Amino acid sequence: MKDILRKLLAHQWSLTFFGWLVRVTMKANSPSIGIGAPPYNYAQSFVEGNLPSLINVHPTHIRHIVIIGGYYAFEADHLLSLYPNATITIFEPSPRYWPRLSRRFANEPRVTLVNKAISDADGTITLHQTNWEASDSILELAPSNAFAGLRETDSVIVESVTLDSYLASVGAAGNVDLIWCDVQGAELHVLRGAKAALSRTACLFLEVQSWGMIYDGAATLADITRFVSQYGFVLCVLGLDVRTGMGNSIWIKKIDAPFG
């Protein structure tokens, strides 16, 4: 299967195939998603609506979701409505987005907000802010990024922590149903600081880049595959933008237990 995927990803037409595959899968599960929606949107909708099936549990057994790179965390509203027993921890370091994010969930006891960047070390880190919303990153923009007009406007120093050290500090030693990570190319930095968490996490939703790198030093899809496979994760759904090579991916572990 890995060889087939590698050969398919070598051709841009294959991404159209993957988008079609995800679209067909989604038709039965999320009828609100239009036929013309991009493949990366299908991947996001799929993990939101089908998480219990992906990890083989009943919806009421979804307990803990971690969102890294929250922005305004619009996806959290949907997840809270679908999974009534779930708590969600959301990390967002940007001073631009934090005030609105804080107001949105001020009265939601099931959401914990953390104003820190998640990376591979505790301390401080530079957050590069751009002229496009939801495009800030701890990585600088590549000299020739795939998006014309995208540029850095300023940078700020923010507090950084690894996911493992944060979870240990709050006594969250239990299983994680889903790690949702959208950090503009720095996904591998997050994963390197989450080795303990990965061993007890059932599903990953990761932004990935296959070609046309937008951020300098960003992890490729191949890099992500090599790293998460060490923890038993296999690629389940992939939806990429055929113009930029950027998109979303879902990774699961083989589940042998009976349905929860």
Backbone φ, ψ for residue 245 (5° rounding): 80, 5
In what side-by-side order are the strands of the sheet with 152-161? 117-118, 152-161, 123-130
Q: How confident is the model at residue 121, as a pLDDT?
A: 98
Look up residue 10 and give its two tokens: 């070598």
The sign of the dihedral angle between the CA atoms of 52, 43, 209, 189 is: negative
Residue 67, classified by CB atoms within 10 Å of its CB into exposed (0-12), middle (13-18) or buried (19+), is buried
Residues of the chain with pLDDT under 70: 1-36, 146, 255-260
Model confidence, pTM: 0.85
What's the CA gap between 161 and 149, in Å, rounded? 31
Q: How confident is the model at residue 204, as a pLDDT?
A: 98
Q: How confident is the model at residue 16, as a pLDDT?
A: 36
Whose tokens are 């051709």? That residue is 11
Q: Are 226 and 251 in contact (CB under 8 A)?
A: no
Q: How confident is the model at residue 34, as a pLDDT?
A: 45
Q: What is the 3-class SS of 210-256, one letter each residue?
A: CCCCCECCCCCHHHHHHHHHCCCEEEEEEEECCCCCEEEEEEEECCC
Backbone φ, ψ for residue 69 (5° rounding): 85, 55
CATH of domain 2-253: 3.40.50.150
Q: How confident is the model at residue 31, as a pLDDT?
A: 38
Strand partners, 176: 201
Element (DSSP H or E) covering residue 76: helix 74-82
141 secondary structure, DSSP code: B
> Of 73, 72, 38, 65, whose CA–CA distance to 248 is shortest?
38
Indicate the domain borders of the chain. 2-253
